[in-house]
């Protein structure tokens, strides 16, 4: 199973032309399209490797943050693709990205320098060394913002807390890792979630404060699951899973959205549209809109998906899920 991976230069050059927002079939709204290059608003591209371009995207506070590792920066766009900020990361070996409630970009160097860099406009990056893993051999696989803490995921499973005064969460979290301990999944409004492949699809493990034993829910995926690309949660506690199914000859990505109680709200296969399979990344905004980062030979684009319009086979109209909140600041 390939792992899923659940910031720049000064503004000295003109901004590359951005395509106007449009509806991209079959239903994704084009937020931005940017070329390969070093200018602000463009993105660096490697010639070889499994991840040829930006390795991470995060949507929050009405903005889209994209990690441009090649040029050591995070570029921040508004909901129409206009470049707002370029945040220098001071490193070209960062892999993972998160955003806190104040709009700071959190970038994680998981394998080389083993540190977190906190990026804020007009300030030098704040560097926080990584602690030892909770179990020997586990590697960092995710980062999230907690209350005065960085939440670090290890091995796509265990989440620990690293004290970091001033960090603000994007939304209220039902559970936090205890001092010196860990959560067995990613934080959600209700508690925590972990996703694993099962024989015919995937299983969601849902934990919450008032339940000593997590709930396990199984969902079939036609053809089975080849690999999980991303696992995201929003402020309402909804959960989005992006995966590659084995049986799709077009290499489409299946996205499944669940309620915080684990009820399937929507499911759809959407175009991957990237140079390599691992270069299609996702972010679920706190308001519940899904953002997809993908690449082509020409450059990078981000699509916004409103999953509430997809519908779910077998769910009567009166039980249709409530639409996500409109994107905007907190």
Please give the distance of CA 110 from its chain centroid, rounded to a whole number. 16
Is the separation of the CB atoms in 238 and 190 below 8 Å?
no
CA distances from 258 to 67, 176, 238, 291 (A): 27, 21, 6, 16
Alpha-carbon span 185 to 191, nearest angstrom: 9
Alpha-carbon span 67 to 71, nearest angstrom: 9
Give me the DSSP letters along 200-259.
SEEEEEEEETTEEEEEEEEEE-TT-EEEEEEEEE-TT--EEEEEEETT-TT--EEEEEE-
28-60, pLDDT tens digit by residue?
Answer: 999 999 999 999 999 998 876 555 789 999 999
59-81, pLDDT tens digit by residue?
Answer: 999 999 999 999 999 999 999 99
Bridge partners of residue 208, in order along the sequence: 191, 211
Q: Is 27 helix (H, G, I), strand (E, B) or coil?
A: coil
203-259, pLDDT tens digit by residue?
Answer: 999 999 888 899 999 999 988 999 899 999 999 999 999 999 988 888 899 999 999
Alpha-carbon span 196 to 205, nearest angstrom: 8
At residue 275, does pLDDT exceed 70? no
Is the separation of the CB atoms in 182 and 158 below 8 Å?
yes
Domains in the chain: boundaries: 26-307
Tokens 């669940």, residue located: 258
The CATH superfamily of 26-307 is TolB, C-terminal domain (2.120.10.30)
Q: Look up the pTM and report it.
A: 0.85
Q: What letter does residue 36 receive in the DSSP assignment?
A: B
Specify the pLDDT at position 199: 81
- What's the token pair of residue 96? 């993972």
């Amino acid at each position: 199973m390939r792992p899923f991976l659940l910031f720049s230069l000064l503004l000295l050059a003109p901004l590359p032309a951005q395509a106007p927002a449009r509806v991209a079939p079959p239903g994704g709204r084009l937020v931005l399209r940017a070329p390969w290059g070093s200018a602000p608003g463009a993105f660096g591209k490697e010639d070889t490797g499994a991840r040829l371009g930006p390795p991470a995207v995060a949507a929050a506070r009405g903005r889209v943050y994209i990690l441009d590792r090649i040029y050591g920066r995070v570029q921040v766009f508004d909901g129409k693709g206009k470049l707002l900020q370029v945040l220098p990361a001071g490193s070209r070996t960062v892999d993972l990205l998160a955003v806190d409630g104040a709009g700071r970009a959190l970038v994680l160097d998981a394998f080389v320098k083993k540190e977190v860099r906190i990026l804020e406009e007009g300030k030098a990056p704040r560097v926080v060394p990584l602690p030892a893993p909770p179990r020997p051999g586990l590697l960092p696989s995710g980062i999230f913002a907690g209350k005065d803490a960085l939440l670090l995921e290890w091995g796509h499973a265990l989440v620990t807390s690293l004290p970091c005064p001033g960090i603000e969460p994007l939304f209220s979290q039902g559970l936090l890792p205890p001092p010196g301990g860990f959560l067995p999944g990613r934080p959600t409004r209700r508690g925590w979630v972990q996703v694993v492949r099962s024989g015919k699809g995937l299983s969601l493990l849902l934990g919450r404060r008032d339940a000593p034993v997590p709930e396990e829910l199984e969902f079939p995926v036609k053809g089975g699951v080849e690999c999980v690309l991303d696992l995201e949660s929003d402020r309402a506690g909804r959960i989005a899973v992006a995966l590659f199914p084995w049986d799709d000859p077009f290499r489409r990505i299946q996205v499944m959205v669940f309620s915080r109680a684990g009820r399937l709200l929507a499911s759809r296969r959407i175009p991957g549209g990237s140079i390599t399979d691992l270069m299609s990344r996702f972010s679920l905004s706190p308001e519940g809109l899904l953002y997809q980062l993908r690449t082509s030979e020409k450059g990078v684009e981000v699509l916004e998906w409103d999953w509430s319009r997809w519908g779910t086979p077998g769910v009567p109209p009166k039980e249709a899920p409530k639409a996500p909140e409109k994107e905007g600041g907190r």
